[in-house]
């Protein structure tokens, strides 16, 4: 990356100006506070190592082009309890994907889960996604490396803690993306080629589903692809101490440390989502399912 005298810090997003051309902060595009976190943060160490090379040679090494950038938007305005829940849950969120701890359901159910999760990943990978891509409510970035190899990816989430884990996941894959703290309900600031949501629609209340589909369409250029993966109702999908109900609108969630939250959780039917997408002006709408656990949806902006 080129030297910049003034920049927004790649880690925290804070504006900063250096004093001279030799300032390492300007080559790393990290503020002094974040530079001081290098011992505890692998991204910052990676960025400083690259910056030292760039300052010495005047040119960035090839791998630096794949680094992960960060910026911040305004604070989230919707669903403050859900944002607080995902901030608190970030460190244990991937246990759900990996069927660890309270999410272990025995070999029969866990093998089925892993097979269907892999099926969902293959489905997403096969979609014709490219160009500028936005991932809303990206969480810990489970799907983000798959998307980042397909185009220019921007990750948005209202909670900062899971987004930092998404940053580490991308860094581990040597992939580039733009990470922003931004509420999924914020109005689009541009139109893009593809929009993806992983396990977000089930947090949209039925009373607001039409509004979200309208917002999703506004994100997309004509013909742009909207894709999503979400939850089907299955008693074995959630933690052992959760009690999901097929007709619920909210769910009581408990964390490993005992803290409890109530958040929106809706188990939509494929026909319900297809009808909503068509009503919002989408075309070529398909919402399929895996055998037990997941919804797989795609639609084109009209």
pLDDT value at position 59? 47
Cα 15 to Cα 35: distance, rounded to the nearest angstrom = 14
- Domain 71-301 is classified in which CATH homologous superfamily? Vaccinia Virus protein VP39 (3.40.50.150)
Query: What is the value of pTM for the model shown?
Result: 0.76
Q: Which two tokens stand for residue 58?
A: 């005047």
Report the pLDDT averaged over residues 234-263: 90
Range of lowest pLDDT (26-30, 176-180, 182-186):
26-30
Domain residue spans in the chain?
Answer: 6-67, 71-301
User: Confidence band (pLDDT; 50, 70, 90) for 232?
Assistant: very high
Which pLDDT value is given to residue 199? 98
> How far is 204 from 212, CA to CA, in rounded Å?
8
User: What is the model's pLDDT at position 10?
Assistant: 73
- Among 11, 10, 2, residue whose Cα is nearest residue 51: 2
Band the pLDDT of 92: cuts 50, 70, 90: very high
Question: What is the tens place of the pLDDT at every residue in 51-85?
Answer: 787 788 764 432 223 333 433 333 333 467 889 99
Q: Tell which residue, 163, 137, 143, has the closest CA to residue 69.
A: 163
User: Distance of CA 214 to CAs 61, 85, 193, 273, 278, Å?
Assistant: 43, 26, 16, 13, 10
């Amino acid at each position: 990356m080129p030297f910049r005298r003034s920049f927004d810090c790649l880690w925290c997003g804070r504006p900063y100006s250096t004093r001279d051309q030799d300032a390492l902060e300007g080559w790393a595009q990290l503020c002094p506070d974040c530079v001081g976190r290098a011992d505890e943060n692998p991204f910052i160490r990676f960025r400083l190592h690259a910056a030292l090379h760039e300052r010495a040679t005047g040119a960035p090494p090839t791998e630096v082009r794949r680094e992960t950038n960060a910026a911040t938007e305004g604070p989230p305005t919707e669903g403050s309890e859900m944002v607080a829940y995902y901030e608190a849950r970030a460190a244990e969120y991937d246990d759900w994907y990996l069927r660890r701890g309270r999410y272990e359901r025995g070999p029969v159910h866990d093998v089925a889960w892993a097979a269907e999760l892999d099926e969902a990943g293959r489905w997403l990978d096969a979609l014709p996604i490219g160009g500028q891509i936005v991932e809303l409510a990206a969480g810990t970035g489970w799907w983000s490396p798959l998307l980042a190899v397909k185009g220019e990816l921007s990750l948005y989430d209202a909670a900062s803690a899971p987004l930092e884990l998404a940053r580490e996941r991308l860094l581990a894959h040597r992939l580039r993306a733009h990470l922003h703290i931004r509420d999924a309900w914020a109005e689009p600031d541009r139109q893009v080629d593809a929009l993806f949501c992983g396990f977000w629609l089930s947090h949209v209340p039925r009373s607001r589903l039409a509004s979200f589909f309208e917002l999703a369409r506004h994100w997309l250029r004509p013909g742009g692809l909207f894709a999503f993966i979400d939850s089907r109702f299955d008693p074995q999908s959630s933690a052992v101490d959760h009690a999901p109900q097929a007709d619920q609108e909210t769910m009581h969630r408990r964390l490993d440390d005992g803290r409890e939250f109530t958040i929106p959780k809706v188990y939509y039917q494929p026909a319900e989502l297809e009808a909503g997408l068509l009503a919002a002006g989408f075309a070529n709408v398909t919402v399929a399912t895996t055998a037990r656990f997941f919804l797989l949806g795609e639609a084109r902006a009209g």
